[in-house]
């Protein structure tokens, strides 16, 4: 059974002005070091907190890559939760689960004309290798069984439901279109069935 390992207060956001708490865990399914960020404005008695499962994206989250919308989605969520409260489950599942080096290989194939799913498939991987079991374990360790999920991705909704988490509401993020990611977003909408208004 997963349990909270440690908690520490810190500030997040572009100006490091949003109060939050960083949590680590032990007893998760794998050795990956997933963390939760709990925003201080969250009502602790709230029965259905706002939650986003955000898979690590070094290129997008840190370097604001032109190829994806991950960093923008994370920033949007931090700002939203800074105002209304919520929880980000930051999951170490780079490149939809294929890892950083393989994702860079996939980027090369995308530069040659493949879309993000075709590139992963060409490298021998499935469309999406992410496993959200540990996200459900993290929520259970926090005593949370019902949430409002911030996502455009139906896989996340279906996976969490299959692990016994009740989804009271799905809250979409904006479509963060920029030069270089139009094809990526179109593939997510057409192939991954993401709810994106492009």
Determine the length of the chain: 198
Q: Is 95 annotated as a binding residue?
A: yes
Q: Is 59 annotated as a binding residue?
A: no
Q: Is 68 annotated as a binding residue?
A: yes
56-65 long-range CB contacts below 8 Å, 24 or more apart?
56/90, 56/91, 56/92, 56/93, 56/94, 57/94, 57/95, 58/94, 58/100, 59/103
Q: Is 151 annotated as a binding residue?
A: yes
Tell me the C-alpha distance between 91 and 44, whole Å: 23
Tell me the C-alpha distance between 152 and 23, whole Å: 25
Q: Is 53 annotated as a binding residue?
A: yes
Q: Is 44 annotated as a binding residue?
A: no
The one catalytic residue among 43, 130, 148, 189: 130
The one catalytic residue among 69, 128, 131, 189: 128
Catalytic-residue membership of 131: no
Q: Which of 169, 171, 170, 194 is nearest to 181 (CA)?
A: 194
Q: Is 57 annotated as a binding residue?
A: yes
Q: Is 54 annotated as a binding residue?
A: yes
Catalytic-residue membership of 128: yes
List the binding residues for Zn(2+): 57, 68, 70
Q: Enumerate the known binding-site residues for GTP.
A: 52-56, 73, 94-96, 116, 151, 156
Binding residues: 52-57, 68, 70, 73, 94-96, 116, 151, 156
* Residues with catalytic roles: 128, 130
């Amino acid at each position: 059974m997963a349990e909270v390992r440690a908690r520490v207060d810190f500030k997040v956001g572009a100006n490091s002005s949003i109060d939050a708490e960083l949590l680590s865990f032990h007893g998760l399914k794998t050795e990956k070091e997933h963390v939760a960020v709990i925003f201080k404005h969250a009502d602790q008695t709230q029965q259905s907190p706002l939650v986003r499962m955000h898979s690590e994206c070094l290129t997008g989250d840190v370097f604001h890559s032109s190829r994806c919308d991950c960093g923008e989605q994370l920033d949007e969520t931090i700002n939203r939760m800074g105002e209304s409260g919520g929880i980000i489950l930051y999951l170490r599942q780079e490149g939809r689960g294929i890892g950083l080096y393989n994702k860079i290989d996939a980027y090369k194939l995308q530069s040659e004309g493949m879309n993000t799913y075709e590139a992963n498939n060409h490298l021998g991987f499935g469309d999406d290798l992410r496993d959200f079991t540990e996200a459900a374990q993290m929520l259970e360790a926090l005593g949370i069984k019902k949430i409002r999920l911030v996502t455009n991705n139906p896989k996340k909704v279906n996976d969490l439901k299959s692990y016994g988490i009740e989804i009271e509401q799905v809250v979409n993020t904006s479509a963060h279109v920029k030069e270089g990611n139009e094809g990526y977003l179109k593939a997510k909408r057409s192939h991954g069935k993401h709810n994106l208004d492009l």
